[in-house]
Every structure is written in C-alpha cells, then in structure tokens.
C-alpha cells in the first residue's frame, strides 16, 4: 500500500465489503437502501446511513486513484452543460467527454457565461496536462469567447448534431437525480457525479460491440483495476 491508498483503519468491516458497497451504489441505479438489502442478502448487516458515509468517505479516494490509472483521454473533447435545480436555485453541470464517450471531467457552477467556461477549460487542462486536437460544443457563445482566451489554437466545431455524444452522456445523471429526488447541494452533486463518471468509465466496455469472450476479458480487467485502487484484492 502507498501513502495514497485508502485507509480502512478503525472500520469494523473489511475493505472488500466497503469497496463492494461503493461499487454497487455507483455502478447501478441503486439507492442506499437498495444497497443495504443486497448486502443483507449476502449476510452483511449494515445500515444505509453507514453505506452513505462509506460512499462520501471512500468514493472520492477511489475516484482519484482511478483518474491516475486511466491517464489521458482522447484528443477530441465534447462539452455540454446541464442545468440542475438545487434547493430552488438553478446550477449548471459542465461535462466533458472524449470521442469514446468516457467522462473527462465535470464541474458544477452557478453560471454558464464566459468566466464559467474559462474556469472549466482550465480545470480540463490541469487534469489532462495537454490541449485537445478538436473541441466540439453547442452554439453557446461562452465557449467561443473562452476558447479564444484559453485555447486559441484548438479547432472548434459547433455543427448541428456533432455534440450528441455529450448530450447523451447527461442521461445517467438525470436518472439518478430523479431517483434521489434532486441533489441536496452543489457540493453533493459535484462529489457524486465525479465518482459516478469514473466508475462508469471503468465498467462501460461497449458490450454490444464486442464478442462475449472479449467482453468478459475487459470486464475481468476492470474488476482487477477496481480491486487494485480500493486495496480490496
């Protein structure tokens, strides 16, 4: 274990159970109570509040480890913003995915103006360490204005339907928002979608495009990565 590995010291349950509970919650459309029932069926008695604390404590740690392992994404970035209502106020969830549909980064902000776009661009550059070859967005003017300041050499595409990949990537968030009866705070949605996106990246292997043997191989590798980052192997 390294200094960056999750520490389970002081927890009554072993790493295998904690990491499995976090995986269940973020991999599938489950509530904390659903996860509690699934663990109970396996003979593990734990409350949904404990599972909530596990997700809040270990979810971000797992996400950071996954981000380091996944490394750099594709060189075509699709950007889009989704509005979410939090305590009666409209917030915007800025999301970037690559050409394969993998989530690059997500940022929750209260605006979608030029300054908000610039902030998101800088966050993307910091996490990736390089500029993309091409940026695809809708026709929101904030993107063009921010791009001239932050990444003036990047090709910018705003063609109709070109950004469908980013728009489709919002669907899992909308589904979980409805299930959770809306998010409780900006910090809550930021933490949840950051972990959720990376877990989906790891286990979304394009099953419909693969032969069964190849799908099983990729799935087995995904579980090996998960066990490694959670120290649950």
72 pLDDT more than 80: no
Q: In the chain, what are the domain boundaries?
A: 15-70+203-230, 76-184
Give the largest Cα separation in the chain, rounded.
57
203 pLDDT more than 70: yes
pLDDT at 233: 64
Sign, Cα dihedral of 186, 50, 21, 29? negative
1 pLDDT more than 60: no
Sign, Cα dihedral of 46, 48, 49, 54? positive
Residue at token pair 């489709």: 168
2 pLDDT more than 70: no
The structure's pTM equals 0.88
pLDDT at 165: 86
Q: What does the DSSP 8-state code read for residue 207?
A: G
pLDDT tens-digit readout, 112-157: 999 999 999 999 999 888 999 999 999 999 999 999 999 999 999 9
Distance from the Cα of residue 84 to its chain's centroid: 16
Six-digit token string for 127: 């996490």
Q: Closest Cα to residue 94, out of 50, 66, 127? A: 127
Q: Tell me which CATH code domain 76-184 carries.
A: 3.30.420.10
DSSP 39-107: HHHTT----HHHHHHHHHHHHHHHHHHHHHHH----SEEEEEEEEEEETTEEEEEEEEE-TT--EEEEE
Pairing of strands 76-86, 155-157: unpaired
With bands split at pLDDT 50, 70 and 90, how would you rate the model's confidence at 4? low
Structural element, H or E, at residue 200: helix 186-203
Q: Per mean pLDDT, which range of 38-52, 84-98, 198-212 is the poorest?
A: 198-212
Structural element, H or E, at residue 192: helix 186-203
> What is the torsion angle, in degrees rounded to the nearest 10, for the CA atoms of residue 132, residue 129, residue 1 and residue 192?
-60
Average pLDDT over residues 162-174: 85
Judge contact between 79 and 90, C-beta under 8 A: no
pLDDT at 29: 83
With bands split at pLDDT 50, 70 and 90, how would you rate the model's confidence at 60? very high
pLDDT at 3: 55
For the chain, give the mean pLDDT. Answer: 90
pLDDT at 122: 96
């Amino acid at each position: 274990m390294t200094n960056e590995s999750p520490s389970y010291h002081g927890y009554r349950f072993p790493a295998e159970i904690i990491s499995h509970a976090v995986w269940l919650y973020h991999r599938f459309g489950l509530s904390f109570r659903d996860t509690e029932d699934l663990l109970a069926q396996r003979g593990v008695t734990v409350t949904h509040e404990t599972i909530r604390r596990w997700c809040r404590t270990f979810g971000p740690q797992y996400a950071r480890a996954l981000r380091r392992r996944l490394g750099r994404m594709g060189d075509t970035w699709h950007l889009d913003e989704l509005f979410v209502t939090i305590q009666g106020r409209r917030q915007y969830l800025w999301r970037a995915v690559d050409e394969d549909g993998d989530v690059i980064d997500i940022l929750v902000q209260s605006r979608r103006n030029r300054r908000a776009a610039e902030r998101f661009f800088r966050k993307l550059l910091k996490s990736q360490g390089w500029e993309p070859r091409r940026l695809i967005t809708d026709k929101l003017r904030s993107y063009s204005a921010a791009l001239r300041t932050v990444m003036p050499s990047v090709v910018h595409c705003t063609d109709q339907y070109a950004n469908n990949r980013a728009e489709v990537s919002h669907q899992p968030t909308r589904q979980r928002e409805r299930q959770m009866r809306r998010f409780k705070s900006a910090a809550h949605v930021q933490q949840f979608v950051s972990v959720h996106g990376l877990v989906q990246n790891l286990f979304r292997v394009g099953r419909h495009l693969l032969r069964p043997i190849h799908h099983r191989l990729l799935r087995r590798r995904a579980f090996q990565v998960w066990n490694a980052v959670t120290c649950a192997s």
